[in-house]
Amino acid sequence: MEQQVHFLTLATADLEAARRFYVEGLGWTPLLDVPGEIVFFQVAPGTVLAFFEAAQFAQDLGTGPERPAVSGVTLAHNVGDRDAVRALADAMTAAGGTVLTPPEEGAFGGVFHALVRDPNGVVWEVAHNPGWSVDADGTVRLG
């Protein structure tokens, strides 16, 4: 298996809230939007993030009516400076997100970050780390 992930699919209790947050609130453009079922977003070259209505997600997994929960997962978005961390945390809040950790110095690594939960409980870390960079082709440089 190649070291790649092409799809990240998250069970979403309220698909309409997810759509409002990402499309209307943050201005994301869906790659494919199937009302009442799933919405896909191209988030990087070769990578799609999908929000799948929870009951249908459970059915697809074969778990019956039990709705799986996301636990112990954050999605991260790196930005160019501390002001961009503040601005994006504010934009996510205005779009319906909830700030869990306001913009602040991180506990390690020289990171300045905020944690914001979307309307369905997905936690985003918005971060600036001067030691990390993302190339134009999407390659992440740590160090």
Query: Where are the CATH 3.10.180.10 domain residues in the chain?
Result: 1-69, 70-134
Q: Which architecture does CATH list for 1-69?
A: Roll (3.10)
Contact 130, 112 (CB under 8 A): no
Contacts of 104 (CB under 8 A, 6+ apart): 112, 113, 114
Give the closest residue to 73 by CA, choosing from 108, 39, 113, 121: 121
pLDDT tens, N- to C-terminus, the chain (143 residues): 888 888 899 989 999 999 999 999 999 999 999 999 999 999 988 899 999 998 888 887 776 666 666 567 889 998 989 999 999 999 999 999 999 999 999 887 789 999 999 999 999 999 999 888 888 887 888 87
pTM, two decimal places: 0.84
Q: Which architecture does CATH list for 70-134?
A: Roll (3.10)
